[in-house]
Amino acid sequence: MQGASLDRNRLSVLIAALLLGSVLFRFIELPEHAVELHPLGSPLGIRLTGTWVLTALMVGLVCTGTNVILHDHPALGKYPGRPIYVTWILPGIMAGLSAYLLANLEAWPVWVAGLTVVGISMTLVIAAEYMAISPEEPAYPAARLSLNVLAYLLAFVLFAVIQHSRGRSLVTASFTLFAATLLAIDLLSAADVPFRRVMLFSAIVGLILGESTWAINYWQIDSWAGGLLLLLIFYIATNVAHQYLLERLSRSVVVELIVVTLVVIAIILLKA
C-alpha cells in the first residue's frame, strides 16, 4: 500500500489555533469559581479556574481537529476494530496536560520554550496517529512504537502531576482511574481483538490504578516516586492484559515483568 498523504495545511491550522489559545490565555485572567460538594458525607471543595477552562478548550480543539485530519485517511474504514475516537486519546491528553503545565509556568523564557516544544510535539503526535491507522503503511511499526512510548510517558507525567496535587484520595484516585483507562484503551486497541474486550480489560487496568492510588496516598513519598510507582503498576497491568488478549502470556513475559519491577522498586526505594 502506498503511504497515505497527510493534509499539512489542516494540521498547520490546528497547531496554530492550539498555540494561539495558549497565548491568549496567558494574558486573559478568568474569574475563579468554588464549588462545595459533600461526597460520602464529608465536604469537598473544587476550584474552577481559568487554567481548567483552557485545558478543557484545548482538549476539545485538538480532539476535533485530529478527527478532521484523520478522516482523510483512505484506509480509515478498513479497520473497524479500532474506532476513530481512540486516536483522539493521546493528542487530547497531551494537549490538556500541555495547557495545564504551560499555565503554571511563570518565567517567560521557559514558557516560550515550552510553547515551542508543545507545537512541535503535537505535530509529530498527530502525524504518527495518521501513519498508525493502517498496519499496511510502511511507517506503521515506527509510528505505533512511538505512540506506545508516548502513552507511557504521558502516564508518568499525569500520575506525577496528580500525586503532586496532594488532593483527597476520592479526587486523585478518580482522575488516575480515568486517565489510566483512556491510556490503556489506546495501548490495548492496537491488538487485533474485539474492541469490547479491549474496553473491558482497559476498565480493569483503570480500576487497578485507581485502587493503587488510594494505597499510595498513605505512603509519604514525593510525587516523582509516586508517579513512577503508578507507572510501574500501569506498565505491568497493560502488558499482562495485552499479552493475554493476544494469547501470548508466557513464562518469559512474566520474568521480564519481574525484572522490570525489581529495578523500578529499587530506584524508588533509593529515591525515597
Regarding whether 157 and 32 lie in a shared domain, the answer is no
Q: What was the pLDDT predicted at 94?
A: 93
Q: HSE on the CB side for 101, CA within 13 Å?
A: 21
* Residue 134 confidence (pLDDT): 81
Helix axes 8-27, 50-70, angle to 10 degrees: 170
Q: Look at residue 136 in the predicted model and tell me its pLDDT.
A: 81
In the structure, how many helices (H) and strands (E) does the chain have?
9, 2
CB 162 within 8 A of CB 96: no
> Which of 138, 156, 176 finishes a domain?
138
- Where among 110, 138, 166 does a domain terminate? 138
Question: Quick one: which of 219, 237, 133 has its CA closest to 180?
Answer: 237
Candidates 163, 187, 164, 169; CA nearest to 237 is 187
Residues 87 and 208 in one domain: no
**Tell me: the pLDDT tens digits for 57-113?**
889 999 999 998 888 877 776 666 678 889 999 999 999 998 888 888 888 889 899
* Nearest alpha-carbon partner for 84 in 70, 102, 95: 70
Q: Which helix (H) or strand (E) holds 243?
A: helix 223-245
Q: Are 214 and 173 in contact (CB under 8 A)?
A: yes
**Domain-ending residue, one of 107, 138, 169:** 138
For residue 178, pLDDT beyond 90? yes
pLDDT tier, 2 (very low <50, low <70, confident <90, very high otherwise):
very low
Domain count, the chain: 2
168 and 253, same domain (yes or no): yes
- For residue 47, the SS3 value is strand
Residues 169 and 221 in one domain: yes
Q: Based on the domain organization, do 60 and 97 belong to the same domain? A: yes
Given a cut of 50, is residue 39 above it in pLDDT?
yes
Enclosing domain of residue 218: 146-272
Least reliable range by pLDDT among 32-36, 176-180, 261-265: 32-36
Tell me the per-residue pLDDT of 147-160, one tens digit each, with 9 for 90 and over. 999 999 999 999 99
Burial readout 199-212 (b: 16 or more C-beta within 10 A, e: otherwise): eebbeebbebbbeb
Residue 119 shares a structural domain with residue 157:
no
Three-state secondary-structure class, residue 84: helix
| Judgement on whether residues 121 and 151 belong to the same structural domain of the protein | no
User: What is the mean pLDDT of the segment spanning 167-173?
Assistant: 82
Give pTM, 2 decimals. Answer: 0.88
Residue 171, pLDDT above cutoff 90: no
Binned at pLDDT 50, 70 and 90, residue 1 comes out as very low
Q: Are residues 18 and 67 in the same domain?
A: yes
Q: In the predicted model, what is the mean pLDDT of the chain? A: 85
Query: What is the rounded CA–CA span in Å between residue 224 and residue 35?
Result: 29
Give the Cα separation of 67 and 188 in Å (integer): 20
Examine the domain organization and report whether 25 and 121 are in the same domain. Answer: yes
Answer yes or no: is pLDDT of 31 > 70: no
206: nearest Cα among 179, 170, 172: 179
The cell 469537598 sits on which residue?
Answer: 44
Which residue(s) pair with 34 in the sheet? 47
Q: What angle do the packed helices 140-165 and 169-188 form, to 10 degrees?
A: 180
Per-residue confidence (pLDDT) for residue 188, from 0 to 100: 93
163 and 265 inside one domain: yes
| CA distance readout (Å), 121 to 125, 146, 200, 249 | 6, 12, 30, 34
Grid cell in block for residue 245: 488478549
Cα distances from 155 to residues 50, 53, 69, 223, 266, in angstroms, run 24, 22, 25, 13, 20
151 and 264 together in one domain = yes
Residues 99 and 159 both lie in one domain: no
